């Protein structure tokens, strides 16, 4: 088993792909936390804890859910809105839950507006601008998610979660696989259940995600 751990950065300018460091993807029914295979149950708890601890917990929905290209996508969008509303209700004063879209993957130089969107080619701009210290990707095509997750790990101290509809992401600090409406709802339920039991790290994250 690899000694390498996928941890919040900033790792360095060009962090290695976690796969090249020996990190493996979880099997169906499993997840990974920091590159170590874990049960899904444990991952729900950890993801909820990270969200509740963060000063600016943020969900980044991608094109696969932002655009209602089939019925399933529209249902996932509803679940994501529910997750965001739950998160907003569960955070304490001083914390700010955000929902920022990644509408497409065009490298929008130099026009990106980090207040309203995130772009996979320079996701660090949105992380820095909003001082996001924990984020979750959902509905982003795998190759673009990998690119973003690596850039975020390289240049920021943001904790990354991937709610992946395929086999998961090694480059996230925590990754689910086979994402579904049920899994998103279950994460919302876990956040609700852990509400008030987790202390937000408001002091340590005074300046948000560092550059």
Partner 1 sequence: MSKERIQISEDLYDIMPSDYQDLVKSATYGKEDRGWKDIGSSKELIEQHSLCAGCPESMAFRYILASLPNPEDTVMVGSTGCTSLVFPMVAVHNIHSLFGNQNAIASGLKRALSVRFPGRVKDVVVLAGDGATVDIGLDMTLQAWFRQEKFTTICFDNELYANTGGQESGLMQKGFVAKMAPVGKLFDKVRLPEIARESGCHYVVNCTVSKPSLVEKVIRNAVHVAREIGPTYLQLYTPCILEIGKNSMEGLQEMRDSEKPTERFAYKEYVSEPAKQLLAELAAKDKERKAAAKQLASQASA
Q: Point out which residues bind partner 1 (CB under 8 A).
A: 61, 65-69, 73-74, 77-78, 80-81, 99-101, 103, 106-111, 113, 116-117
211: CB partners within 8 A, 6+ apart: 10, 124, 128, 155, 156
Cα 50 → chain centroid: 10
Token pair for residue 5?
């751990």
Comparison of 2 and 113: residue with beta carbon closer to partner 1:
113
What distances in angstroms separate CA 110 from CA 106, 121, 142, one per listed residue? 11, 11, 24
For residue 13, give the DSSP letter.
Answer: S
Dist. CA 29–CA 183, nearest whole Å: 11
Comparison of 27 and 78: residue with beta carbon closer to partner 1:
78
Quote the least distance from Cβ 136 to partner 1, whole Å: 14
Contact in structure between 123 and 58 (CB atoms under 8 Å): no
Comparison of 41 and 115: residue with beta carbon closer to partner 1:
115
59 by DSSP, 3-state: which?
A: strand
Comparison of 77 and 172: residue with beta carbon closer to partner 1:
77
Quote the least distance from Cβ 181 to partner 1, whole Å: 12
Quote the least distance from Cβ 106 to partner 1, whole Å: 4
Quote the least distance from Cβ 78 to partner 1, whole Å: 5
Dist. CA 129–CA 18, nearest whole Å: 26
Quote the least distance from Cβ 211 to partner 1, whole Å: 24
Comparison of 100 and 136: residue with beta carbon closer to partner 1:
100
């Amino acid at each position: 088993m690899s000694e390498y751990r996928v941890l919040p950065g900033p790792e360095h300018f060009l962090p290695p792909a976690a796969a090249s460091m020996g990190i493996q993807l979880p099997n169906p029914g499993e997840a990974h936390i920091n590159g170590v295979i874990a049960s899904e149950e444990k991952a729900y708890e950890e993801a909820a804890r990270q969200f509740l601890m963060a000063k600016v917990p943020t969900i980044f929905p991608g094109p696969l859910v932002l655009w209602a290209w089939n019925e399933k996508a529209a249902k996932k969008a509803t679940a994501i809105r529910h997750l965001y509303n739950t998160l907003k209700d569960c955070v304490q004063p001083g914390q700010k839950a955000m929902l920022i879209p990644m509408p497409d993957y065009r490298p929008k130089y130099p026009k990106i507006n980090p207040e309203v969107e995130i772009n996979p080619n320079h996701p660090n701009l949105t992380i820095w601008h909003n001082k996001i210290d924990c984020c979750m990707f959902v509905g982003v095509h795998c190759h673009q998610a990998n690119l973003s997750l690596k850039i975020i790990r390289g240049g920021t101290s943001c904790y990354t979660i991937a709610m992946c509809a395929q086999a998961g992401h090694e480059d996230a600090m925590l990754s689910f696989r086979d994402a579904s409406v049920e899994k998103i709802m279950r994460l919302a339920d876990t956040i609700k259940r852990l509400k008030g039991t987790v202390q937000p790290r408001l002091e340590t994250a005074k300046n948000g995600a560092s550059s």
